[in-house]
Chain A
Amino acid sequence: MAEGKDHNNILDEVTSGEYKYGFYTDIEMDTAPKGLTEDTIRFISAKKNEPEWMLEFRLKAFKYWLTIAEPNWAHLHHPPIDYQDIIYYAAPKKKPSLSSLDEVDPELLDTFNKLGISLEEQKVLAGVAVDAVIDSVSVKTTFTETLSKKGIIFCSFSEAVREHPELVKKHMGSVVPYRDNYFAALNSAVFSDGSFCYIPKGVRCPVELSTYFRINAANTGQFERTLIVADEGSYVSYLEGCTAPQRDENQLHAAIVEIVAEHNAEVKYSTVQNWYPGDKEGKGGIYNFVTKRGLCRGNHSKISWTQVETGSAITWKYPSCVLKGDNSIGEFYSVAVTNNYQQADTGSKMIHLGKNTKSTIISKGISAGHSNNSYRGMVRVAKKATNSRNFSQCDSLLLGDKCGAHTFPYITTGNESSIVEHEATTSKISEDQLFYCQQRGIDSEKAISLIVNGYAKEVLNKLPMEFAVEAQKLLAITLEGSVG
């Protein structure tokens, strides 16, 4: 009928929402010259007053990086990255060590306020210790005192290198060696800063540890490094959330996250990623090449990854678990949304080495616009990992008819007593569902948001409360045309 909007038109409108967080904070920068040579690495190391061993680690990684080529197996297409056209170090000039929020640069606080993640609010309401990272250097750490009473270390990576060299030396690169892959080598050579977290034996971290990353200067590569060590019988929930301002140039991000869980330890790592995805025509946006891996080193240890990925022009990311300890558990819960011209190649690896190890992969891909969304997962059960169990479920939801969803599972089992299950579905938001909602008075934008949130619920439920609310909003913002 004349008034019936064409279904595709509705979806087009609804899915062409523009990035809401495009603004730029003007904080004076202290930057390295463009390009990557041994001198760049010495510059970074010197800037950070690093000990000799750290510099040596970087140089070894750099030399290795020079010998290898960028991987090209992912279902991603982008122009070649000019690694010499990138600034590898940028830090806010003021490097304050602060005891209260009042001392934080007001402009930075304002930035957080625009994002709706007021430190103050979080500190008071949510009880979250926030380690805010802006362009590679930790600016603010709260709750450190509360944490330190329990012996918990939560600080910037640089600080950890200075204050806790024995812990860093022992664990850095033990889960993701610099030889692991191209981007891991690059990160190991040039990483600027990041977070370090150590939970001592038997301690249950009383608050959720949180880091907000933000990329903030033109042509600045962002190379974060996070190391979380959960000692025997400890527990920690760690939150990572990201937003970035709108920029024209593509920005490279290659982070490393390493997690070590000893006997009976549990680590829950949650991410909401909302970096600038590029504009509606696919111009600009962040290139996000991340290596995230957890090692269940001890028996009965557990590592859970939960991620909501809505941003970045390109996402290359496979949070993984190496289940080395007997009876250890690995989990991966993911919602990845791509819109306009975004591309995501993401999934998980579960490597079963210990006996009776269990892993779960729940992946929900949502594609809209002209985007491409791929799930790539590997489940490997070693010969000695008897009686192991994996369950993988990969669902894809398509909005409109110009986007793509792909699934690439790789499964190998080395013994007869283990069970590996893989389920995959692809569906579209049906016209029936949309009309049913509309007939109840819910407009098409809200209806899509409702249906998508329902679809992703299984994963959203795994997020800590305050994060889940934010993630729901993000899904709506990403898919709705109400912003711009």
Chain B
Amino acid sequence: MLLDIKNLHVSINGKEILKAFNLTVNKGEVHAIMGPNGTGKSTLAAAITGREGYEITQGEIWFNGELINDMSPDERANKGIFLSFQYPVEIPGVSMTNFMRTALNAKREFNNQPPVSASDFLKKMEEMKNLVEIHSKLTNRSVNEGFSGGEKKKNEIFQMAMLEPTMAILDETDSGLDIDALKVVAKGVNALRADDNGFVVITHYQRLLDFIVPDFVHVMYDGSIVKSGGKELALELEANGYEWIKEAVAEK
């Protein structure tokens, strides 16, 4: 079991957003989490990655057999949890190359490994840039500064490829992407899918799931999962919208 979330309750400023949320992700699995806006999808991503201000009032998050409720965000990251941000952040004056090298070496230090050599690093950068079709010049620019929407999202997947997480969460990676960029992002993700890692793909639309085919689809509503199924559930949602889910929940 890679990720095991049990009865998770999360509040922001005293307002409960996640309510008795449960999810289990095994190695090799891709889970899609869908649902209307404001049901707590991004809160879930923030809670798993340990963002400040997201208070766990109840429940447990287990990662690789370890309880991570109280772990700092950087420790979780170094243990293999990666978040592809919905809104990637700009850091002026810090080149992507420098940023990536700092991140990679932080992880290596965490694992008692020596810093990566310049040549190995550059080689890996080249390889991963090609994977997500990032222009060479982009990595000389400051982190996300002046990047287009598509470039920012590709850049997230590029970072994921560099850091090789075992648990990757993609938060609305498809938002603001044209179809070509979407295909590139999906190609990157698919290339990284392996037997020893898992993905949680948070998305509002089914479109992304045409390219990143999930093993499981969960529908989230009002802070918890209300329906789970195979990839066909996504098509059902696409066809019927979320209204029927809301009605079903209301009937209960």
Q: State whether B93 touches A453 (Cβ < 8 A).
A: yes
Chain A 431-444 near chain B by CB (<8 Å), digits 1 or 0: 11101111111111
Task: List the A side residues contacting B50 at CB < 8 Å.
Answer: 1, 3-4
Binds A, one of B25-33, B102-110, B194-202, B237-245: B102-110
A435 near B51: Cβ-Cβ < 8 Å: yes
**Which of B47, B92, B93, B106 makes the CB contact (< 8 A) with A1?**
B47
- Please judge, given known A-B contacts A440-B159, A441-B78, A450-B102, whether A4 and B94 are in contact too, CB under 8 Å: no
Decide if A4 touches B52 in the complex (CB within 8 Å): yes
Residue of A nearest to B109 (CB): A441
Minimal beta-carbon separation of B242 from chain A (angstroms): 28
Q: Which of B64-72, B123-131, B180-188 contacts A (4 or more CB under 8 A)?
A: B64-72
Interface residue count on the A side (C-beta < 8 Å): 30
Q: With contacts defined as CB atoms under 8 Å apart, how many contacts are there between chain A and chain B in the complex? A: 102
Within 8 A of B (CB), among A431-467: 431-433, 435-444, 446, 450-451, 453-458
Cβ-based interface call for B88 (8 A): yes
Distance to closest chain A CB from B194 (angstroms): 20
Chain B, range 64-95, C-beta contacts under 8 Å to A: 69-74, 77-78, 82-83, 85, 88-94
Q: How far is the CA of A435 from the CA of B72 in the complex (A)?
A: 10
Which of chain B's residues 3-36 have a Cβ closer than 8 Å to chain A?
10
Q: Are B77 and A438 in contact (CB under 8 A)?
A: yes
- Inter-chain CA distance A174–B79, complex, in Å, is 63
The answer, yes or no, to whether A124 is at the interface (CB within 8 Å) is no
Cβ of A433 and Cβ of B89 under 8 Å apart? yes
CA distance A446 to B104 in the complex (A): 13
A2 sits at the interface (CB 8 A) = yes
Known: A450-B91, A453-B93, A454-B91. A442 touches B103 (CB 8 A): yes
Contact with A along B222-233 (1 / 0, CB 8 A): 000000000000
Q: Mark B156-168, 1 if CB is under 8 A from A, else 0.
A: 0001000100000
B70 touching A436 by the CB < 8 A rule? no
Say yes or no: B56 contacts A451, CB within 8 Å.
Answer: no
Q: Is the interface of A mostly helix, strand, loop or mixed?
A: helix
Q: Are A1 and B55 in contact (CB under 8 A)?
A: yes
Could you tell me the dominant secondary structure of chain B's interface residues? mixed
Q: Smallest CB–CB gap between B147 and chain A, Å?
A: 13
A428 at the binding interface (Cβ < 8 Å): no
Are A435 and B91 in contact, CB atoms less than 8 angstroms apart? Answer: no
Chain B residue contacts of A77, Cβ below 8 A? none
- Asked if B77 and A3 sit within 8 Å, CB to CB, the answer is no
Interface residue? B203 (CB, 8 A): no
A4 and B54: CB pair below 8 A? Answer: yes
Chain B nearest Cβ from A444, distance in angstroms: 7
Contacts of B99 in A (CB 8 A): 437, 440, 450
Task: Knowing A5-B52, A438-B72, A444-B74, say if A454 contacts B159 (CB, 8 Å).
Answer: no
Check: A7 CB closer than 8 A to any chain B CB: yes
A439-B77, A450-B94, A455-B92 in contact; A1/B110 too (CB < 8 A)?
Answer: no
Query: A439–B94 contact, CB under 8 A?
Result: no
B89: chain A residues within 8 A (beta carbon): 430, 432-433, 435-436
A436 near B91: Cβ-Cβ < 8 Å: yes
B93 touches A442 (CB 8 A): no
Establish whether residues A441 and B77, one from each chain, have CB atoms under 8 Å apart when the complex forms: yes
CB <8 Å contact, A439 and B73: yes
Whether the pair A440, B103 counts as a contact (CB closer than 8 A) is yes
State the CA gap A439–B103 with chains docked (Å). 9
Tell me if B139 counts as interface (CB < 8 A to partner A).
no
CB distance from B249 to the nearest CB of A (A): 26
**Does B146 reach chain A (CB closer than 8 Å)?**
no
Question: Across the interface, do A454 and B52 meet the contact criterion of CB distance under 8 Å?
Answer: no
Q: Which 4 A-B pairs have the closest CB atoms?
A: A454-B93, A454-B94, A4-B52, A3-B70
Supplied contacts A1-B53, A433-B91, A439-B49, 11 more A-B pairs, CB within 8 Å? A1-B51, A1-B55, A2-B70, A436-B85, A436-B89, A438-B74, A441-B110, A443-B106, A453-B94, A454-B92, A458-B93
- Where the two chains meet, the residues of B that have a C-beta atom closer than 8 Å to any C-beta of A are 10, 47, 49-56, 69-74, 77-78, 82-83, 85, 88-94, 98-99, 102-103, 106-107, 110, 142, 159, 163
Q: Enumerate 10 A-B pairs (CB-CB under 8 Å) in ascending A order.
A: A1-B50, A1-B54, A7-B52, A433-B89, A435-B51, A440-B103, A441-B107, A443-B72, A446-B106, A453-B93
